[in-house]
Structure 1
């Protein structure tokens, strides 16, 4: 029974951490729906929690696991959507740096497989600070850029302003295929039209 209680306590902690993590990324996560994300995060955070070597069984936490290199390695990179990674969609390299932002060296729009109805691919990066101890978070995002099949050259998205909350720093990228109509951009609803993934995490 002791082991059951220990497992139950840690599982409850994982569930709370998943909810907190999703809340911290809500400005991006709230723009699309993925019915598989919650369960996938529970599985991920359970693995991360098990890497907490400082706490005794029954008291291990997700944040404890994230303080290890192995735990951070499970979160970064992590695909939050269910389809392809950004590099697979772009078919070219993506470079991330905390200080400068996101860049696509030698981008060629013609290499991207634009789905039917899409005129552009929107790209945006966000920084979330997650204080797992105090359960506080903050989020900052960059401007959105729109890339068409005709675009080429080095593409650069400057890093957003630093967040004002202590704790784990998580960098994410959000890419969506959109359709331009009279100067307005409308996200496509088709499967695989959105990509969100973690591109960096640090304490």
Structure 2
């Protein structure tokens, strides 16, 4: 592998050379490797095929979770969300101890305590993790999906970005079956309060319970706004927002 230093930056394949960009720098390497046809048919690559199948399944499972949450994910995510979620789903898949190699899947792994633990506490925005933003204890009732934060003092118990005047809280309850990809989500009321020293009790209650097979996910969204002339505006494309999986049952 070599680094290119010319004025013209090329990306793609030219004869036996492949040009690509990584971390803002341009590199070139010689084209090579085993052909796709051989990997797909040669018995010597059976382990590779099994790994590729499970890798693809883990990636698809992450996409299923993101899709089930809909627009909620777009309110709080980072540029590496897909790859981070792929890593977590791979760990969940590894908890499937009954399926043969190459066919292990997330829908079985997530039923185990270890599989649930892998997703518990997951932050969709790694730049705004829940434990680095909220410094107040909260309670979650998994029977109702209700989230409560009592005697919350916004200016002291939340790490807010410069320019923010208000903080908003919303809960979500998701039922998701990874095997069938069937899902149902219910959102709570939204509580928006100014960033001051006034203690406030926050109660977030889902609009309904969710049914169906699979697992239930309990999530918390924290958003920041700046109020100008009575209108609240999101800050910098919502890059400071938090979306966290509080619990999986």
Q: Identify if the C-alpha distance between structure 1 residues 114 and 162 changes in structure 2 by more than 3 Å, giving closer, same or farther.
A: same
State the partner residue of 1:109: 154
| One of 136, 147, 154 as aligned partner of 2:193 | 147
**TM-score, length-normalised on structure 2?**
0.75
Equivalence map 1:25-174=2 (5 Å): 25-98=69-142, 99=144, 101-111=146-156, 112-150=158-196, 151-174=198-221
Once the two structures are TM-superposed, the CA of residue 100 in structure 1 deviates from its matched residue by 5.0
The question of 1:184 aligning with 2:228 is answered: no
**Using the alignment, how far apart are the partners of 1:36 and 1:58 within structure 2?**
26
After superposition, the Cα gap between the structure-2 partners of 1:174 and 1:191, relative to the gap in structure 1 and judged at 3 Å, is closer
What is the rounded CA distance, in whole Å, between the counterparts of 1:102 and 1:186 in structure 2? 25
Deviation at 1:55, TM superposition (A): 0.9
Is structure 2 residue 59 aligned with structure 1 residue 12?
no
Q: CA deviation at 1:190?
A: 6.5
Query: Larger C-alpha radius of gyration, 1 or 2?
Result: 2
5+ residue gaps, structure 1, are none
Specify the SS of the correspondent of 1:122: strand
Question: 1:38 is paired with a residue of what secondary structure?
Answer: helix
Q: Which runs of 5+ in 2 are unaligned?
A: 1-44
Q: Which has the higher contact order (CA 8 A, sep 6+)?
A: 1
Say if 1:93 and 1:119 are closer, same or farther in 2 by CA, change over 3 A.
same
How far the C-alpha of 1:90 sits from its partner, in A, is 2.5
Q: Following the alignment from structure 2 to structure 1, what is the Cα–Cα distance between the partners of residues 248 and 181?
A: 17
With normalisation by structure 1, the TM-score equals 0.91
1:121/1:177 contact within 8 Å kept: yes
3-state SS, counterpart of residue 169 of structure 1 = strand
CA deviation map 1:116-154 (0-9, x unaligned): 221111110111111222222121111111122233143
CA distance in 1, matches of 2:131, 2:89: 24
Q: Aligned partners of 1:114, 1:135: CA distance in 2, in Å?
A: 36
Secondary structure at the aligned position of 1:121 is classed as strand
In the superposition, relative to structure 1, how do residues 181 and 64 fare at CA in structure 2: closer, same or farther (>3 Å)?
Answer: same
SS in 1 for 2:71: helix
CA distance in 2: counterparts of 1:107 and 1:59, whole angstroms:
47
Matched positions, count: 202
